[in-house]
Amino acid sequence: MRIGKVILQCCTAASLLCAGLDFARATGTDAEKAPPVDPAPCNAAISANDDDSIMGECGALIGNEKTARADRLKALIARAGVFTRRDEIDRAIADDDAALRLDPTQADLFNARGELWWKKGDRPKALADFAAAIKLNPDHPAAKANYKRLALELERLGAQMAVAGKPSFNCQTARRPVEKAICASPELANLDREIHAISARVIREAQSPIEARTLQRTQDEFIARRNARFGRTGYDLKKEMKDRLQALTGTDGY
């Protein structure tokens, strides 16, 4: 009797196991037969340039695991464009990242992400993306232009950093008290360098020799006045230098 009961329990368990396997197979088959996600609404939103619809329809494609790879890529690119237009830079970069993981051969995407990094202020990442775009497509006009502009900007920033806090003259040979004061102050040193550079430019670009001599005389008079008055009661060197810089850059017509 006891043996019969054990046999019955085993048969029951086996039946349940078989039923479970049948159900799993049926469920798997149903899942495999599930229709693919329809990309038509997303494509229509893209064609209509409807940002709100792109966010909704294409966002639904992106969030559905059944979406075909090509459709997901197109939806990510479209939504990244919306985020870019809305100035949501981090979210646009995230979508470009996801799109490039799907297809790392997209030169346009590298260029687009590079522009976003540039706007965000991350110049090294921007330059790397522009270089990647050019590597994929050596004739990519936007990437080539962006790379050149950014490279020049980095060169210019490097040059500015190299002279930051340094005046137009050699501090090691400075003898005048005013020169030593300028060398001791990064702010005054930068002002002196700007005044010297802009003065040299306006003299170089003068319309005639007479005008050039007049401009040079004005600059010489400023330097002589600065040297003579520094240290006197009430003399404000920084104010005098700022006034001279303002005169060079606009109020006197230069």
Tens-digit pLDDT profile for residues 138-193:
999 999 999 988 888 877 766 556 666 788 888 889 899 999 999 999 899 989 98
97 located within any domain: yes
* CA–CA gap between residue 71 and residue 102 (Å, rounded): 11
Same domain? For 75 and 101 the reply is yes
Burial of 138 (0-12, 13-18, 19+ CB in 10 A): exposed
Which tokens sit at 44?
A: 């229509």
Give me the pLDDT at residue 158, please. 63
**Statement: residue 250 has pLDDT above 50:** yes
Same domain? For 218 and 105 the reply is no
59 located within any domain: yes
26 located within any domain: no
Its sign, for the CA torsion 155, 160, 161, 167, is positive
Domain boundary among 162, 182, 215: 162
* CA dihedral of 87, 85, 71, 24, whole degrees rounded to 10: 40
10 located within any domain: no
Same domain? For 128 and 188 the reply is no
Report the predicted TM-score, pTM, of the whole model to 2 decimal places: 0.55
3 located within any domain: no
| Span 16-60, pLDDT tens digits | 444 444 444 545 444 455 566 889 999 999 999 999 999 999 999
Q: Which of 65, 70, 79, 148 is nearest to 106 (CA)?
A: 70
Across the range 223-231, mean pLDDT stands at 93
* CA–CA gap between residue 131 and residue 110 (Å, rounded): 9
Domain boundary among 162, 187, 203: 162
| % the chain with pLDDT above 70 | 81
* CA dihedral of 9, 13, 18, 24, whole degrees rounded to 10: 160
Across the range 81-85, mean pLDDT stands at 95
CB count in 10 Å sphere of residue 18: 10
Domain boundary among 162, 188, 216: 162
Task: Identify the domain containing residue 209 by its residue range.
Answer: 171-251
Give me the pLDDT at residue 25, please. 52
Give me the pLDDT at residue 152, please. 81
207 located within any domain: yes
Q: Which of 89, 81, 153, 140 is nearest to 119 (CA)?
A: 89
Greater pLDDT, 14 or 142: 142
Same domain? For 91 and 134 the reply is yes
Same domain? For 80 and 154 the reply is yes
**Statement: residue 2 has pLDDT above 80:** no
The number of distinct structural domains making up the chain is: 2
Same domain? For 157 and 50 the reply is yes
Give me the pLDDT at residue 205, please. 86
